[in-house]
Structure formats: C-alpha cells, structure tokens
Amino acid sequence: MPGAEMSIASLFLEASLFVKGIMLLLLLISVVSWALIFQRSAVLKSAAKKSREFEDKFWSGIDLSKLSDDLSQRQQAPRGLESLFLAGYREFVRLRAQKGTSPEAVMDGAHRAMRVAHSREVEKLEQHLSFLATVGSVTPYIGLLGTVWGIMTSFIALGSVKQATLAMVAPGIAEALIATAMGLFAAIPAVIAYNRFTNRLQRIETQYENFLEEFSGVLHRKAHS
C-alpha cells in the first residue's frame, strides 16, 4: 500500500494551486469536525450520566433545602438537572418568603425560572451541532468544486495538444477526484455524528422536561401546604 500513498501524495503535489487549496481546506474542516465529534460525544455522555445521578439523589428522599445547600456550596457550577432544580427552588423560596404572594404566583415564578434554566442548559448541549450539520451539507460541494476545476483545467490543457491520450488526461482527472473523495470523507462522519447527537440530545431534553414537570408537582404541593 505504500505505493498508493505515494501516488496520492504525488497527485496532490502536482495539482493546481486552486485544487490544493480546496484539499487543504477540506482537510482542515475534517480535523476540526473530528475534534468536535469527540468533544460533543463526551459532553452529551457526561450530561446523561449526571442527570441520572441527580435524579437518583433527588428521589432518594433527601430534604430539598439540604440538597440546595449542597449544590450551592460545591465548587463546581451546577449543570443540567442541578441547574433546573436550583433555579426553581431558589425562586420558590424567595417568592414564598414574600408576604401576600399567592401560591399561584409562587408557582408561576418558580416555573418560569426553571424554563429559563432549561433553555440555557439545552443551548449549551446544542453548541457546535450546527457546525457539524453545515460540514455534512457543504463539504461535498466544496470537493465537487475542486473536481470540476481540476477536470476543466485538464481539458483546457488538452486543447494545445494535437493527439490526446488517456495517459495525458488521467493524472489531472485523478487529482480532481481526490477533492471529491476528501469532501465525502469530511461530510459522512459529520452527518452520522450530527444525527446521533441530535437523537441523544432529544432524549436528554425529554428527561429535563419530565423532571421539570415532576418537580413542579412537588413544589405545587409544598406551596399549598
């Protein structure tokens, strides 16, 4: 296989400046895309794990004020369900301490605070997913642009030759097709990762929504007690 590698390397070196630029751009995009794939995978995996751990702790019967104090005193910033819980519980306690505030007003305030926290947490998880979607949809066309340019250059060069042969055209077409291959190499993993991450994000978001409604029910009972 070393010969094939040298062949590809030589085709790249002999390509036109424009096609080289396309190839280098696609290589850079592919490297960035893979870095984001590994990073987002770790983030979503950690978010799902922390959500399960917090739910186990929350439904273990721990006192809500103690749970709030524990999370507030911890050095790490609250994330995921922890953030939803703290936002809702703090607002609930604050409004309930105010004289003349009806239970309905307390619940509305706590629910709004949790909704805001929910939106922020989902936004954090969605970071860079749009980039993967863009890579998946755009890079094949970037590669195709390099291919079209390379083939066009090859045929223009043939115009000055009296007798054209396949051996004369093949290198130019081969180097052009490498650009298309690199475009697909960048696009396919990005599309697969985007679809997978979107599915995982939807499951986490559903978990957040379910907890928000369940916790609202807990606070509703406390507000009317």
- For residues 175 and 15, the answer to whether their CB atoms sit within 8 Å is yes
pLDDT of residue 99: 84
Which residue in this structure is represented by tokens 């770790």?
42
Is pLDDT of 94 > 80? yes
pLDDT of residue 2: 43
pLDDT of residue 3: 42
Question: What average pLDDT does the segment 31-39 reach?
Answer: 96
Q: What is the C-alpha separation between 103 and 220, in angstroms, rounded?
A: 8
Least confident of 41-50, 97-106, 122-131: 97-106
- CA-derived radius of gyration, the chain: 28
pLDDT tens per residue across span 169-211: 666 677 778 888 889 999 999 999 999 999 999 999 999 999 9
- For residues 50 and 81, the answer to whether their CB atoms sit within 8 Å is yes
Longest CA–CA separation in the chain, Å: 96
Question: What average pLDDT does the segment 30-37 reach?
Answer: 96
pLDDT tens per residue across span 51-77: 999 999 999 988 999 999 999 888 888
Number of other CB atoms surrounding residue 74 within 10 Å: 10
Tokens matching residue 34: 């893979």
Amino acid identity of 12?
Answer: F
Give the mean pLDDT of the chain: 87
Number of other CB atoms surrounding residue 13 within 10 Å: 9
Q: What is the C-alpha separation between 29 and 52, in angstroms, rounded?
A: 34
